[in-house]
Structure formats: C-alpha cells, structure tokens
Homo-oligomer: A and B are copies of this chain.
Amino acid sequence: MTNIFAFALGISRHSAAGAMLDCYFPAPCMQPDINLSEIISRHFSAGVTEVAAAVAAAFADELPEGQLKQATQALTAGERALRCVVLENDDAISSTAEAYLKLHLLSHRLALPNSLNLDNIFAHLPNVAWTTRGPIAVDELAAALIKAQTQGQHLEVMAVDKFPKMTNYVVPSGVRIADASRIRLGAFLGDGTTVMHEGFINFNAGALGPNMIEGRVSQGVTVGANSDLGGSSSTMGTLSGGGEIVISVGENCLIGANAGTGIPLGDRCTIEAGLYITAGTKISLLDETGTEVRKVKARELAGGDDLLFIRNSETGRIECRSNRRAIELNAQLHAHN
C-alpha cells in the first residue's frame, strides 16, 4: 500500500447469527506518516480483515512508544481475534466496519465534521438494540428479553438505533457530558466542551470547543469556539433555499434558550431566548439609531458577523441589529443596500 487514508485495529461484536453489530477502535489513525504506513502495510491488508491476536502483537512490537502501541498491546491481552480496517482512500462507505472507523475518526478529533465521505453510512449501520449486555441484534432481542426474565436477570435496553452513544467508545480529553445518551458516536467535541443534560450532538456534527452546549447540534452543524447554545435551542440540519446550506455557528455566539437558527451565523452573533430564525424569515435590518435600513430574508444574513436578532416586544417585528458589542460593524449591514 503506497497510501493509507485511515487505519484502525479493534474489536467487533456480532449477532448470534454472525452479523457485525459494532466495532470498537481504541486508537484509530488518519493519514499515518510513512514510517507508520510501512509498519501497517507489513502486517495488514487493505480493507476489513480479521487478524489473530498474535499478528496484532507482532505489529505492536514494531510500533514506537505511544497511544497506538499501548492500545494495541492492551487489545491483544484478550487473545481474541481482532478486526482491522485499512482504508486507502476516503471512498463512500461500503461496510459496517468502515462506518465505525469513520465515526471513530470524528470523535477522536482526527477529522472535522463535513470533512469525511460518509455516503451510504445509513445503509451500512445495522439497527441495534444497545443494552447493558452490549449490542444485540434487533431480531434477537425478544428472545434475549424472555431468557433474561426466566433467569431472574434484568436486561436494560438503552436505545434501538443505528448509531451508538459516543462515550462507550471514546471520551476525548477536557469534556463534560451530563447525559451521554445524547451524544452519538461520530460527534466531535473539542477540548473544553461541556454538554449539559439538554444538549445534544449528532454524528458528523460538533462543538469545536470551548463551548457550553445546552441545545441541539444537528447533523452537519459545527459550533465555533466560545459560543454557547442555550437550553433546548435548535440548529436546523440543512435547509432548502436554492440549495442545501450547511448550518454553522461561528465564534463567540449565543443562541438563547428555546431559540433556534435555520441560517449559518458568523462570529459574535446573538439570537435572543425564544426566537426562531428560519431562512425565509423577513427581518428588519436596523442601523445604530434603530432606524430600519431595509428588509431582508434571513438567508441574506447567512454567515454575517456581529448580528443581534430579537423580536421587538412592542411590535412583534423581528429585527436584526449589529450586536452592541461591536457597533463599528454596522457598516456591514449598510453594505447590503
């Protein structure tokens, strides 16, 4: 192999019927350097393969000190066959193991949201019952529940979903997650991110950190440094308006509690609590004296910096002012004339 896009070694879990349910990769790699690529190439083939613990142990012996070596040694301790994935290119997903590798790359902060080819991911992720005994195939769950009950044991089913929760696979450094059931594997949580109980981060979405996330970060959405999402605030996954616009929230923004946005925001923007802006919302642009400059649809403000969105409580009109923290940027608004 002359080129390796991504590599991981880990453990796959399977249904009683033999279908792969998930993969756990403690130390995935993306675009390994030449030395590491050569070591990988000597031991493993491209694609998804099963490798004996002894093969993995020999691989570990050649690795330089570090996380990958440690994790590989720990994996081989069980003497179980392991699962290896070597991707030469970032192609569309063609197997469950590849899907899990890419989700791991995101949650290990090796790739930013929207930077990986995730085509066909839904097709290759089986719908799984996630239980206190690990993943169980959905069509084997009813029998497992009966068996547990007849044995006087308790089987707890936490979710029935294609995506597992992130924290059972990896917890990146410097984060707090108040309710882990709300962070899917494939979420990107930057250092310094706190996700409170009402927060949610989908796969291929992320908070770049540091952030306080008490709202919902939909698939494809990213939130920049020092931006906060208030309790139950909403970000739309994508929107139609002459094409699909990926929503993002810049740095130093605040989306208030119970508020929401259907447009991308630049830096230092605020949406007041309880106000939902969609792409088609007609908005009055106000200058620094509070005079209406003109009316625009929200999508025309997409990506703008220093914007403050409120609904005037005397008139019900939705208004956009230059954020008072940055009055000098009002010129930007006038530039739209």
Contact = CB atoms under 8 A, between A and B. Distances in A.
Contacts of A259: 258, 274
Contacts of A283: 313
Contacts of A75: 146, 149-150
A297 to B, nearest CB: 10
Nearest to A150: B78
Contacts of A278: 256, 272-273
A236 interface: yes
Contacts of A167: 129, 157-160
Contacts of A197: 181-182, 200
Given A26-B145, A145-B26, A272-B278, A176 B150 contact: no
B138 A159 contact: no
Copies in the complex: 3
Interface size class of A (residues with CB under 8 A): 35 or more
A275 B200 CA distance: 22
A131 B155 CA distance: 10
Contacts of A153: 134
Interface in A274-295: 274-276, 278, 281-284, 295
Interface stretch (A94-102, A111-119, A315-323): A315-323
B182 A179 contact: yes
19 contacts: A26-B142, A26-B149, A74-B143, A74-B146, A74-B147, A75-B149, A78-B149, A141-B171, A160-B171, A181-B197, A257-B260, A258-B260, A272-B278, A273-B276, A274-B276, A282-B313, A313-B318, A314-B318, A315-B316
